[in-house]
Structure 1
Amino acid sequence: MAKSKSEETPLMLQHKAIKTRYPDAVLLFRVGDFYETFNEDAVIASKVLGIVLTKRANGAATYVDLAGFPHHSLDTYLHKLVKAGHRVAVCDQLEDPKTVKGIVKRGVTEMVTPGVAVNDKILENASNNFLAAVHFGADNIGLAFLDISTGEFFVAQGNVEYADKLLQSFRPAEVLYAKQQQKLFRQHFGTRFYVYTMEEWIFTTTYAQETLLKQFETHSLKGFGIDGLPDAIIAAGAALHYLRDTEHPHLQHITNIQRIEQDDFLWMDRFTIRNLELLNSGVENGHTLLSTLDTTVSPMGARLLKRWLVFPLRNINEINERLDVVEYFIKETDLSRSLHQHLKQTGDLERVVSKIPLRKINPREVMQLAKALQQVEGVKKLLENSPNNYLRELSQKMDPCPGILCRILEQIVETPPVLVSKGGVIQPGIDEELDKLRNISNNGKTYLLEIQKKEAEITGISSLKVAYNNVFGYYLEVTNAHKDKVPETWIRKQTLTGAERYITPELKEYEEQIIGAEEKILSLEIKIFDELLLALQSYIQPIQQNAQMFGNIDCLLSFATNAIQFKYRRPLITDGFNIDIREGRHPVIERGLPPGDTYVANDIILDKEQQQIIILTGPNMSGKSALLRQTALITLMAHMGSFVPAAAAEIGLTDKIFTRVGASDNLSGGESTFMVEMNETASIINNITSRSLVILDEIGRGTSTYDGISIAWSIVEFLHDMTEHRPKTLFATHYHELNELENKHGRVKNFHITNKESGNKIIFLRKLAPGGSRHSFGIHVARMAGMPPQLLQRANEVLAHLEEKHIDAPLEKHVKNIAGPASKVQLSIFDAHSDTFKQIREMLDNVDINRLTPVEALLKLSEIKNLI
């Protein structure tokens, strides 16, 4: 039988009313000195936080589940709940229980979700915590990325591939979209993000425009350069709405919104970001390019470096501007050392200043802010006369904010407590009343002795003493021997056997002062501190700009540090199409080598006229994949404005880097290795340009040998002949048959990774050399992996038998019969029956070559091979 409303306690009725407004959040309900959770929230809290689940009486004969923790542990437990993917509503007591009869008024003061977090324990210093909003328009997808902890706000608009790339690059902690677009979102972006859906009316143009104009206090959005991005504006409006909807009304630190323009950056799809291991390694705790390059010393620099990594520049002038600064820092070692010292002492200036409008900044952080502004002053002086234009311009944009800096240093003690409620935050001499109250509080006994001494001298009562009791406070006690000396102005309060007790107006006034002094002191300190925070509001934007300038300097100093320590060289960025890398090295693998080992450097030359496509063969584990990746990473680093691990490098401006590396199933999506491989390859084929760099590793291994070779062969021919773009391509393969392509296509060149056989062993020399390899040495690799000797012996027997029977001979014959460029492919039907020939001929007759997409061509070719 369901309990009636009257059966529940007033506390639980209040909880139910508040929980109804936040049904999808874990409600932390403040009760006295504890935060309590009830019912299903208690079960979640108990499991996630490891706290005891108990029961609490709720009216007559009913109970509710209960789990709680002390209020001072909020930060720790809040962090765990949010990290576990829960939305958390913090419900506080809005009244002092001492002054209220009955139930205390309560309300949600903060809503924390994975994408809306400002707590230091939840956030990572080196990473942004972006909230993303996605809106599917008629022709484009609008995206917004907002980090409430730093105030950074970005918008973009484009097709599905572009949106997917941005989501992979920003890696938001939470993604918002309209409920009606859930199917669309899952169709295009899967289930890899923490998502939250909102009502459709939030995702409308009018509402979004009003929301943004109100936030930025402008009449239009033209000044931000986003007025032509209607879908992006809708996404941005939704993100701001969500912040206010989650009890974050104070957003004065969100002062700007920036447009991300696709053509401004070197494009890498999410497969490339994954395959090149830019942000994540395929192994636990493995090194990435980010971890390898990151020698920044400030959180602002660490976060910015990650963004530079996934958004490399495409403007030659901007790239060279960065390279010039790196070269300058390498030469000016004393300056670099001084800048490093200043940056180290800055702390997380960006996040600290963002706490001001959120009312989350504490006195110690305000003092840290002042110390950071002192570092700004120091850096500005170091760079204001720099011969480097970029650095000089940065210094001109810096503002040490001397007015507020002086005010902080004058008003806040040098080492304040974390909480203003602890007192002892404000310097002496700031407020006359505060100083007086502190004097009373700190020197109470001394003052009482002064009153006692003064009155004793005036009255001649030598035995006079000042004392205190709970009945009538402070009093003067006079023995009966001296009571005739008591002045008429004294007021008698109590008669004892041998003495009388009196009070005076002065003593009563002091009593009132001393009893309320502590409370008044705290109230005055909070008032002065709040006034300081109010004054700081006016300095949010210049302080944010200082933080951005420091982030830039930190990243460039990091590049200089790497260049010096690991012998990186300045790349030459040109308007041409060539890639010419001399003695290139893989930056990540090189760092992970055992002490004493030297990385084997290699040259790579790619161009559109002579050597457009390199077919790379060689034994397993010989270093083919490393060579492919290092070419892409060196190209990427150059576009970031970093020096590169090479003796020299000429890098033609590159607009896109594509990689298809390795084979992996997408089991959750119901896709086989081969389907994943074909999807990723199709994405490359459909998006290449003349400035693209294409890295292909072992294409076609996900299907049968004949199918795989056919597809790999046709891909190379397509890149060589069937597209006018001529993208620079590195193609590593185990299919030695592809070496035949060099004889048929002028811009295809064979190379192999050298090895040396010693008896029945193989030594990998890891050096690139012209010409193709005819052996894969798979059994040798199996031996190195520790396979049982009897298994290896049997493998050699089978291999010898297959070679004797020439199992591959028909295939080689088939490949050699493919004549001419891919646009004029003619098939010999080899050993096929006449019926099969007719069937294939009919299929080909029905194909409209001019309307056939690359993917359809690949699938059609696969179908033909299956018939054969």
Structure 2
Amino acid sequence: MHQIFAAQSLRIKFESSEGAMMIDLSTIANLELVQNLQNAKSKHCLFGLLNETGTKMGARLLKNNVLQPSTDRTKIEQRWAAVNELSTKEELFFGIREELKQCVDTDKALANLVLLPKNIDFQYMEQSVNNVLMLKSFVDSIKPIWQCLTGVSSDELLKIRELCSPENYAEVQELIYYALSPDVTYSQNQTDLRNHRVFAIRAGTNGFLDVARQSYNEFIGDARELVDQLQAQHEIPLDLKYDTARQFYIKIKANELELAATPPDIFVNVVRKGKVIECQTLDLIKYNQKIKDAHNESIAMSDSSIQELITAVRTKIHPLFKISEGLALLDLLTSFACLVTAQSYVRPDISSETLAIKSGRHPIREKIQKEEYVPNDVYATQQHKRFQIITGCNMSGKSTYIRSIALATIMAQVGSFVPAEYASFPITSQIFARVATDDCMEANVSTFASEMREMAFILRNIEARSLVIVDELGRGTSTTDGLAIAIAISEALIQSKAYVWFVTHFRDLPRILAERLGVYNMHMGVDIDPDFSRMRMRYKVSEGREEQKFYGLTLAQLVDLPEEMMEIAVGVSKDLNTRNNTKQGNLGPIAMAKRRKLAVHMRETITQAKEGALESDELLTRMQRLQREFLVRMAAIDAELSTSENPSGQQAGEAEVQEGTPELESDNVSSDQVGSEGGALKDGKPHGMPLSNTKTPCPDLCRSL
């Protein structure tokens, strides 16, 4: 539609895409950012969860931020500080929430004021009065919010208060108060809005206008008096109601009529709605026409004054656009503050490379499920655990786990607190989610073709600051081809140095990639009875790849498949697993990869400890312990290689390793057991991360390592 705006009336603002996270359409749908996949009308999506706003412009700003989270560290931290202040100052929070409820849709009002009409007709005149009333309500609502923000300390709230300062809109306020009656305002109630339109212009401006207003009042009084007479005459309680289409009409409760009969013959246009009857009379219809004529006459006579006011306001409307943006942001921040106490969210931190979440929860799943949600920890850095392979049984919570990581990252960069006990995030520039499994009928592509197309897009655009979650890649084709493609794509994702969580049912994938730098195996635990008669999901992520077998058979057995068929399936599965386990490979390259991975891991640990706040003696003790553990782990790798090459020397190799280090097992030392260097979450925070800017070097020990 071709539209014309008044000269020098629009505020044009350029926002570079460099300052926002990139989220493609497929990821928006897969993560259910603005719409639930099962029910489009449901509020169970990230936008629906965060939307506690009280204004329409606040809701629009929230949706824009969910789709384009900020990558500006300063902006994000300022929002966190504002949310923290709002959530801790109860009087401030409730005062702002109450005043924001009085705000109209200022974006709509300002846009209508600067839009020039193609044709000036009565509808435009009527809408012009509505726009002016909205403008007056907007201006009247600014000062109470400015007063509520008195005494705030966070930078974001101080900026909003400065925008709402009375001198920024004093000229517009003076023009409005000079032209309009002080008592009129914009109302959602149609009867009140029509009355305010008639009496918008100050009395005494136009004598003919005052006469038309007087007639309007008299006709409304006559209509009310008519209804009172009908009520007394027929001894039936009558309510006078109004809507835009019928204007005034009469509402009667059906049980007030004797024997549930129809209303007396004097009533016309009878409509029965459940237990209510709506109708009119011929006299009431005549009064409606007279009231309408008086209303239209008043609007026509007021138009010249209204247009003069609009023309004068257009030249001074620029500060109002900024104030509108400030109020929308304030509404957004109060919405986040509301969630902090209602959902027990925590303020995250920004780190350079470490993504760490203590007891993280899926924000949407936590809200809708009845049983208690099982939280999980997350830890990843560029050198360690940046590519995590998640295995486990169906329905064990793998998809929920990886989705919760992506959603928490988006929430943090929008400026919201996150569902966790502690959280630290690097600034993420892109998020990709390959989790959908449905065929795309419109594009005439299968599940496999669709996921390959999405992965091609991801691989073309991925970078080191990206976050990727992949769910069940390659299962839409044959097992061999699917595994081959999963390995090839995994290799490309590993080389990109992005943070990746890769869910798979291919049991060989975590084994093949286990010793690659940055790769880490995780699994979702499940308890299965020995006779496969029962299984219980723990919904807890654990280290290492999934060793539990036959959980697919257990699920099949729980749905009461024929017993004979299940016996055949169990026998075949055990035979195939036995054959697969008997295959031996060359452990030389694997040992080399393990050594390289251990060395990189130790280097990262030393760097973190060196940049920490430990005293010299404590740092020395830690470095000595790390040195011993490093040597033990390296000896364990050599013993494993020696055992594979000389099976007869297996026991001797194991004895040698255990004799040197009775407190550690040869190759079962997890990253959490190796002190703080594994990045374990301790006391709610990643243990081993820098605690202050104090640096205590230990050059001799570093050289010895």
TM-score of the pair, normalised by structure 2: 0.64
1:283 aligned onto 2:38? yes
Q: Distance in 2 between matches of 1:694 and 1:818?
A: 31
Q: Is the 8 A contact 1:253 1:357 kept in 2?
A: no
RMSD over aligned CA atoms reads: 3.2
Q: Distance in 1 between matches of 2:216 and 2:491?
A: 89
Q: Is the 8 A contact 1:363 1:420 kept in 2?
A: no
Q: Show the counterpart of 1:677.
A: 451
1:195-239 residue CA offsets vs partner (Å, 9 max, x unmatched): xxxxxxxxxxxxxxxxxxxxxxxxxxxxxxxxxxxxxxxxxxxxx
- Report the CA distance shift for 1:579/1:521 in structure 2 as closer, same or farther (over 3 A): closer
Q: Show the counterpart of 2:255.
A: none
Q: Show the counterpart of 1:149.
A: none
Q: 2:108 aligns with which of 351, 354, 361?
A: 351
Structure that is richer in strand per residue: 1
Matches within 5 A, 1:455-854: 523-574=300-351, 576-594=352-370, 597-720=371-494, 723=495, 725-741=496-512, 743-758=514-529, 760-774=533-547, 775=549, 777-782=551-556, 787=559, 789=560, 791-806=561-576, 809=579, 813=583
Q: 2:201 aligns with which of 423, 426, 431?
A: 426
- Greater gyration radius: 1
Q: Show the counterpart of 2:145.
A: 379
Distance apart, 1:803 and its partner CA: 2.1
Distance apart, 1:706 and its partner CA: 0.9
- Report the CA distance shift for 1:256/1:422 in structure 2 as closer, same or farther (over 3 A): closer
Q: Distance in 1 between matches of 2:443 and 2:181?
A: 62
Q: 2:158 aligns with which of 380, 392, 402?
A: 392
Q: Distance in 2 between matches of 1:340 and 1:442?
A: 36
- Report the CA distance shift for 1:402/1:794 in structure 2 as closer, same or farther (over 3 A): farther
Q: Is the 8 A contact 2:474 2:486 kept in 1?
A: yes
Q: Distance in 1 between matches of 2:408 and 2:555?
A: 29
Q: Distance in 1 between matches of 2:571 and 2:378?
A: 38
Distance apart, 1:632 and its partner CA: 0.8
Q: Distance in 2 between matches of 1:589 and 1:323?
A: 24
1:312 aligned onto 2:69? yes
Distance apart, 1:771 and its partner CA: 1.6
1:819-867 residue CA offsets vs partner (Å, 9 max, x unmatched): 5699xxxxxxxxxxxxxxxxxxxxxxxxxxxxxxxxxxxxxxxxxxxxx
Distance apart, 1:439 and its partner CA: 7.1
Other structure's SS at 2:442 match: helix
Structure that is richer in helix per residue: 2
Q: Distance in 2 between matches of 1:517 and 1:764?
A: 72
Q: Show the counterpart of 1:164.
A: none
Q: 1:270 aligns with which of 25, 31, 47?
A: 25
Q: Distance in 1 between matches of 2:195 and 2:114?
A: 17
Amino acid of the structure 2 residue aligned with 1:615:
I
Q: Is the 8 A contact 2:557 2:566 kept in 1?
A: no
Q: Show the counterpart of 1:832.
A: none
Q: Distance in 1 between matches of 2:471 and 2:130?
A: 53
Q: Distance in 2 between matches of 1:292 and 1:739?
A: 35
Q: Distance in 1 between matches of 2:93 and 2:357?
A: 28
1:128-185 residue CA offsets vs partner (Å, 9 max, x unmatched): xxxxxxxxxxxxxxxxxxxxxxxxxxxxxxxxxxxxxxxxxxxxxxxxxxxxxxxxxx
Q: Distance in 2 between matches of 1:326 and 1:776?
A: 48
Q: Is the 8 A contact 2:389 2:520 kept in 1?
A: yes
Matches within 5 A, 1:39-188: none
- Report the CA distance shift for 1:690/1:382 in structure 2 as closer, same or farther (over 3 A): same
- Report the CA distance shift for 1:645/1:532 in structure 2 as closer, same or farther (over 3 A): same
Other structure's SS at 1:534 match: helix
1:590-630 residue CA offsets vs partner (Å, 9 max, x unmatched): 01011xx2210000111121212211111100100000000
Q: Distance in 2 between matches of 1:438 and 1:779?
A: 82
Unaligned stretches of 5+ in structure 1?
A: 1-242, 445-515, 823-868
Distance apart, 1:808 and its partner CA: 7.9
Other structure's SS at 1:756 match: strand
Amino acid of the structure 1 residue aligned with 2:360:
G
- Report the CA distance shift for 1:536/1:742 in structure 2 as closer, same or farther (over 3 A): same
Q: 1:367 aligns with which of 112, 133, 147?
A: 133
Q: Which moved more, 1:392-401 or 1:253-262?
A: 253-262
TM-score of the pair, normalised by structure 1: 0.53
Q: Distance in 1 between matches of 2:321 and 2:22?
A: 28
Other structure's SS at 1:753 match: strand
Distance apart, 1:810 and its partner CA: 5.2
Q: Distance in 2 between matches of 1:675 and 1:811?
A: 32
Q: Distance in 1 between matches of 2:585 and 2:15?
A: 47
Q: Distance in 1 between matches of 2:406 and 2:335?
A: 21
Distance apart, 1:321 and its partner CA: 0.9
Q: Show the counterpart of 2:289.
A: none
Distance apart, 1:384 and its partner CA: 5.2
Q: Distance in 2 between matches of 1:639 and 1:679?
A: 28
Amino acid of the structure 1 residue aligned with 2:143:
E
Q: Distance in 1 between matches of 2:89 and 2:570?
A: 64
Q: Distance in 1 between matches of 2:23 and 2:487?
A: 25
Other structure's SS at 2:57 match: helix
Q: Is the 8 A contact 1:674 1:700 kept in 2?
A: yes
Q: Is the 8 A contact 2:130 2:197 kept in 1?
A: no
- Report the CA distance shift for 1:420/1:356 in structure 2 as closer, same or farther (over 3 A): farther
Q: Is the 8 A contact 2:11 2:318 kept in 1?
A: no
- Report the CA distance shift for 1:792/1:280 in structure 2 as closer, same or farther (over 3 A): farther
Q: Distance in 1 between matches of 2:440 and 2:215?
A: 73
Matches within 5 A, 1:234-249: 243-244=1-2, 248-249=3-4
Other structure's SS at 2:359 match: strand
Unaligned stretches of 5+ in structure 2?
A: 118-123, 220-292, 594-705
- Report the CA distance shift for 1:793/1:540 in structure 2 as closer, same or farther (over 3 A): farther
Q: Which moved more, 1:801-810 or 1:731-740?
A: 801-810
Other structure's SS at 1:346 match: coil
Q: Distance in 1 between matches of 2:53 and 2:390?
A: 37
Q: Is the 8 A contact 1:620 1:776 kept in 2?
A: no
Distance apart, 1:668 and its partner CA: 3.0
Distance apart, 1:636 and its partner CA: 1.2
- Report the CA distance shift for 1:670/1:608 in structure 2 as closer, same or farther (over 3 A): same
Q: Show the counterpart of 1:487.
A: none
Distance apart, 1:660 and its partner CA: 1.1
Q: Is the 8 A contact 1:584 1:647 kept in 2?
A: yes
Other structure's SS at 1:604 match: strand
Q: Is the 8 A contact 2:175 2:313 kept in 1?
A: yes
Distance apart, 1:802 and its partner CA: 1.6
Distance apart, 1:747 and its partner CA: 2.5
1:406 aligned onto 2:163? no
Q: Which moved more, 1:367-376 or 1:408-417?
A: 408-417
Amino acid of the structure 2 residue aligned with 1:269:
D
1:92-120 residue CA offsets vs partner (Å, 9 max, x unmatched): xxxxxxxxxxxxxxxxxxxxxxxxxxxxx
Q: Is the 8 A contact 1:615 1:731 kept in 2?
A: yes
